Amino acid sequence: MTGIIDEECRDWLQGKGYLKFCRYLRRNHQRYNHQVVSDLMFWSFPVEGRKLVLNFDKSEKEKKQMLIQWIVHQPQITCLILGDQRMGKDALICHIFEEIILYCKEKGFESPRFVTLGNVRCPPFVDEKDMYFSFKKIPSGTAFKPVYIYCSEIEQVLPARDIKSPENQLFSVLEGTLAQNHQKLFGAVKLASKVDLNVIRSCNVKLFKFISPEKLNHEGVERNDMLSELGRWLLPSNVRNKQATLMVFDNNLLTADYGLPVWWDEEYSEQFKDVPIEKVWDFIETIPLLTKEVTASYINTIQTSVFQKFRKELTKDEIFDRLTLSQ
């Protein structure tokens, strides 16, 4: 079936769409790159190539609307926002959520219920009581009001190198039923190789900010599984342009600029800096106790986790006293 679709796209590129194909190359690539890019579009990735030619001259508003409609109307959504540190990943996802709220209002739909996973600051579209540190506490949605799960540091919640952690094991079970429970997952991550493989396998929306070329030189997940060779030609290339974004979904490769949400401030941007101690204790309560008693190794695990996530040092006595009182 894939071969038939590929041939149909090649026939279109060299037939009905040929003039627009040439126009795309002239407007978007240096002349000495035309042969390389056209070979990728025609021979290697004809479905992406055809959609790229069809959509390249759409306005930014139209491209963004395509993304919003895909997210809202697809039952299963796992979205990763990838990019270097301080490149606007959280700002991008918050901006998209604001556009989803407006889109639902225009269409007469009920707005989704937004919840956070592992975040310590609350954006204005999330209720304080909807801030969670574990998948097991996140509520299910309904067909008319789905739950959108927003995670600022998804590699902290579902790390690639700790596949036996409680959250990783829980996600491996829940991942297949997110759509049935009307839950959609959105996570920001610096590199896909840092996050659990089950997230990558279920990912069907990828949003790219600037990623240092040096990081893409290594063979592995970043180069082979997250983006086609054709898509890499469209990645944001200017480290100073934090608005540039590549949107990848349904074989679409769309580029657009996203600014900051109107409510954005530096405090939210640096949400893991100077975290209130109450949020730290909320996080500690999600770390499972595997024995009936609080052991020294369990306290050490908490100390390490808290320092890695929040850069806060708690004494063993503080942790022991708090856990003893909560039992």
Which residue bears the tokens 């809202």? 72
pLDDT tens figures, 17-72: 999 999 999 999 999 999 999 999 999 999 999 999 999 999 999 999 999 999 99
pLDDT of residue 81: 97
- By C-alpha distance, which of 3, 2, 20 is closest to 12? 20
For residue 221, give both structure tokens.
């997940």
Stated pTM of the model = 0.89
Strand-pair category, 113-117 with 252-257: unpaired
Quick one: what percent of the chain has pLDDT higher than 90?
A: 66
At 218, the pLDDT band (50, 70, 90 cuts) reads confident
pLDDT tens figures, 130-179: 999 889 899 999 999 999 999 999 988 898 887 778 888 899 999 999 99
Q: Which CATH architecture has domain 60-267?
A: 3-Layer(aba) Sandwich (3.40)
Question: So where are the chain's domains?
Answer: 2-55, 60-267, 274-326
At 299, the pLDDT band (50, 70, 90 cuts) reads confident
pLDDT tens figures, 237-289: 999 999 999 999 999 999 999 999 989 987 777 766 677 788 788 777 767 66
At 9, the pLDDT band (50, 70, 90 cuts) reads very high
Strand-pair category, 113-117 with 78-82: unpaired
Which residue bears the tokens 């790159």? 33
Half-sphere exposure of 322 (CA within 13 A, CB side): 17
The single-letter DSSP state of residue 177 is G
For residue 119, give both structure tokens.
């975040």
pLDDT of residue 284: 79
For residue 35, give both structure tokens.
């042969």
Q: Which residue has the higher pLDDT, 8 or 321?
A: 8
Q: Is the dihedral of CA 70, 71, 75, 80 positive or negative?
A: positive
For residue 89, give both structure tokens.
């990943």
For residue 99, give both structure tokens.
């556009």
